[in-house]
A and B are shown apart, each in its own frame.
Chain A
Amino acid sequence: MTVDHSDAPSAGGPILKFQGVGKRFPGVIALNDVSFEIGRGEGHVLLGENGAGKSTLINLLGGVFQPDSGSIWFDGAPYKPASPLEAFAKGIRVVHQELNLLSNLTVAENLLFEQLPSRRGLVNFREMNRRAAELLAEVGLDIAPSTLVSRLGVAQMQLIEIAKALAHESKLLVLDEPTATLTNREVDRLFEILHRLKGRGVTTLYISHRLQEIYEVGDSVTVLRDGQHVTTRPLKGLGIPDIVRLMVGRTVEDQGVFRDDIHPTGEALAVSGLKLTADCAPIDFAVAKGEIVGIAGLVGSGRTEAVRAIFGADPKAAGSIRVNGKAVEISSPKEAVAAGICLMTEDRKQQGLLLEMSCAENITVTDLKRLSRHGLLDRGAENAAATDLVASLRVKTPTIFQKVGTFSGGNQQKIVIAKWLYRGSEALICDEPTRGIDVGAKAEIYELLGRLAADGKGILVVSSDLPELMAICHRILVFSGGRIAGEVTRAEFDQNRILSLAYEEYGRARGN
Chain B
Amino acid sequence: MPEGTERAEERKATSSVWDNLLRISMREAGVAIALVIIVLFFSATAPYFATPENFLKIFVQIAINTVLAAGMTFVILTGGIDLSVGSVLALCTVVGATIMVNEDMSPWLSIPLAFVACTATGAICGAINGWVCEKWKVPSFIVTLGMLNVASGLARVVSDNSTITGLPQSFVDFGNEIYFGVFPSIFLIAILVILIGWFVLRFTVFGRFVFAIGTNEEAVRLSGHNPRVFKIAVFTISGLTAGIAAMVYLLRLNVGSPIAGIGYELNAIAAVIIGGTSLSGGKGSIVGTLVGACILQVLSTGLQLLGAEDNVKPIVIGTVIVLAVVLDTYRNRLLRILETK
Contacts and interface: CB of A to CB of B under 8 A. Distances in A.
B309 interface: no
B218 A377 contact: no
A26 B283 CA distance: 20
Contact of B222 (A343, A361, A372, A377): A343
B311 interface: no
B216 A423 contact: no
Interface stretch (B46-54, B56-64, B84-92, B198-206): B198-206
Interface in A298-344: 311, 313, 332-334, 336-338, 342-343
Contact of B219 (A26, A332, A354): A354
B204 A377 contact: yes
A366 to B, nearest CB: 5
Interface residues of A, number: 39
Interface stretch (A265-273, A287-295, A345-353): A345-353
Given A350-B218, A376-B203, A26 B339 contact: yes
A114 interface: no
B219 to A, nearest CB: 6
Given A375-B205, A376-B203, A401 B7 contact: yes
Contacts of B209: 368
A345 B219 CA distance: 9
B340 A372 contact: no
B204 A375 contact: yes
B212 A365 contact: yes
A123 interface: no
A369 interface: yes
A100 interface: no
Contacts of B282: 356-357
Contact of A333 (B12, B211, B222, B340): B222
Interface in B96-152: none
Q: Which applies to chain B's interface (DSSP): helix, strand, loop or mixed?
A: helix
A366 B212 contact: no
Interface stretch (B154-162, B170-178, B223-231, B244-252): B223-231
A67 to B, nearest CB: 14
Contacts of B212: 354, 357, 361, 365
Nearest to B204: A375
B216 A355 contact: yes
Contact of A399 (B11, B211, B283, B340): B11
Contacts of A375: 204-206
Contact of B224 (A24, A352, A423): A423
A62 B222 CA distance: 34
Interface in A393-447: 398-399, 401, 419, 423
Contact of B340 (A25, A355, A357): A25
Contacts of B216: 350-351, 353-355
A358 interface: yes
A165 B28 CA distance: 43
A401 B11 contact: yes
Contacts of B222: 311, 313, 333, 343, 345, 351-352
Nearest to B226: A334
A358 B211 CA distance: 11
Contacts of A368: 205, 208-209
Given A26-B340, A351-B219, 11 more contacts: A25-B340, A26-B339, A351-B218, A353-B219, A354-B216, A366-B223, A368-B205, A375-B204, A377-B203, A377-B208, A419-B223
Interface of B: 7, 10-12, 203-209, 211-212, 215-216, 218-226, 282-283, 336, 339-340
Interface of A: 24-27, 311, 313, 332-334, 336-338, 342-343, 345, 350-358, 361, 365-366, 368-369, 371-372, 375-377, 398-399, 401, 419, 423
Identify the 9 closest CB pairs spanning chains A and B, nearest first: A337-B224, A26-B339, A354-B215, A368-B205, A26-B340, A372-B205, A366-B223, A375-B204, A356-B215
29 contacts: A24-B340, A26-B340, A311-B222, A313-B222, A332-B226, A333-B223, A334-B226, A342-B224, A351-B216, A351-B218, A351-B219, A352-B219, A352-B222, A355-B215, A355-B216, A357-B211, A357-B212, A358-B7, A361-B208, A365-B212, A365-B219, A365-B220, A365-B225, A372-B205, A375-B206, A376-B204, A376-B205, A399-B11, A419-B223
